[in-house]
Amino acid sequence: MPDGPAPAGGASGRAGRGHDGSGDGVSEERFVEGVRLSNPDKILYPEQGITKSDLADYYVAVADRILPHVALRPITMVRCPTGQGKKCFYQRHAGSGVPEQLGEVTVPGFDEPYLYVRDLPGLIAMVQMGVLEMHPWAVTVAHPDRADRIIFDLDPDEGLGFAEVIAAAIEVRERLSALGLTSFVKTTGGKGLHVVVPIEPTAEWREVKRFAKGVSAEMAADAPERYLTKISKAERAGRIFIDYLRNDPTSTAVAPYSTRSRLGAPVAMPLTWDQVRDGLDPCAYTIATVPGLIAAQAADPWAGMLEVRQRLPDQPRA
């Protein structure tokens, strides 16, 4: 797949070099969507020379695509203040230095409130925090105790090629379709694929997890040489781990269009099912290429996700 152009500043604009935007000296701050970026020239991806400012431009470029899938959802952030390849840490709760652009929501059964994003300024605020990965929950702040997405994470053994992952994703889709469920797919910014099923937020978590486990267990039973549902690395040789454990309270999956804290500055990219075929290269989706690829698309591959109305079926159950 051809590369697209690098992200541009667009409507957010660079504040320029120096305090007056004159182009002299080193950039000390920049305002994007009303959010102050300190040290916008800080390198976050050394291999590509991608700066904090570049990352903000990227999220401005993809805002219309990512926000429907991250806004108003509890979120787990992977913060890497000194850049990719250096010390990173997870954050879910408010603490010192959390900007006002992020909200907080209380989730039943948990003591501390969780953070969430409301809008584009919230995305930019996370850039200011050094967030390189966004992992939303499969719930909204309106229904924090009811999942509205089922996630099948296809995680292959290191020795497997991507063609096997593609075949697994197609099989998951076919099994779900036989149960009357519409599903969507994305790359993960890594070596796997996620198959995502939107559902109305009516089922309890244990029902959602039981359903996901049932589908996964059936695949593993039918083809034990290809699939397994145990997390053990030792047992994974030559097989694909179907991770249904994403379907638990506080478990998350990387957001579509989120960057990853990995070499190459990869992005988790939503796809059409027609794209899930031989020749698919997940490495083609990066901070530099994705805005151009989006601009060239006739339609958003996940546009229909928010319109699907379906409920958890009664089977299979493990």
Q: What is the pLDDT of residue 16?
A: 38
In this prediction, residues 88-102 reach a mean pLDDT of 88
**Residue reference for tokens 């990965």:** 133
Share of the chain above pLDDT 70, in %: 90
Q: What are 72-81's pLDDT values in tens digits?
A: 999 999 999 9
- Do 107 and 74 meet the contact criterion of CB atoms below 8 Å apart? yes
Spatial distance between the Cα atoms of 240 and 192, rounded to a whole number of angstroms: 9
Domain 29-144 - what CATH class? Answer: alpha beta
Give residue 6's pLDDT band: very low, low, confident or very high (50, 70, 90): very low
Say whether the peptide bond before residue 136 is cis (omega within 30 degrees of 0). Answer: no
Cα-Cα-Cα-Cα dihedral sign, residues 273, 278, 283, 284: negative
Tens-place pLDDT, residues 257-309? 999 999 999 999 999 999 999 999 999 999 999 999 999 999 999 999 999 99
Tokens (6 digits) for 17: 């070099």
**Domain definitions of the chain by residue range:** 29-144, 149-250
List the CATH code of the domain at 149-250: 3.30.70.3300
Residue 10 pLDDT grade (very low, low, confident, very high; cuts 50, 70, 90): very low
What are the tokens at 222? 């039918």
Sign of the CA dihedral with 228 first, then 234, 237, and 243 last: positive
Q: What would the pLDDT profile of 161-214 be if each residue is shown by its tens digit? A: 999 999 999 999 999 999 999 999 999 999 999 999 999 999 999 999 999 999
Q: What is the pLDDT of residues 59-69, one digit of tens each?
A: 999 999 999 99
Lowest mean pLDDT among 94-108, 188-202, 235-249, 297-311: 94-108
Is 236 or 215 the better-scoring residue by pLDDT?
A: 215
Which among 202, 152, 209 has a CA at the least distance from the CA of 175?
152
Whether 109 and 145 have beta carbons less than 8 Å apart is answered as yes
What is the average pLDDT across 16-28?
44
If you average pLDDT over every residue of the chain, what do you get? 90
| The pLDDT value given to residue 19 | 34
Overall average pLDDT of the 238-251 stretch: 93
Given pLDDT bands bounded at 50, 70 and 90, which one contains residue 315?
low
Asked whether the predicted pLDDT for residue 249 surpasses 60, the reply is yes
Confidence grade of residue 27 (pLDDT, cut at 50, 70, 90)? low
- What is the edge-to-edge ordering of all strands in the sheet holding 193-198? 227-228, 240-243, 149-156, 193-198, 184-187, 270-271
Rg of the Cα trace of the chain? 20
What integer is the mean pLDDT of 149-163?
A: 95
Residue with tokens 């989006």: 294
CA distance 105 to 182: 30
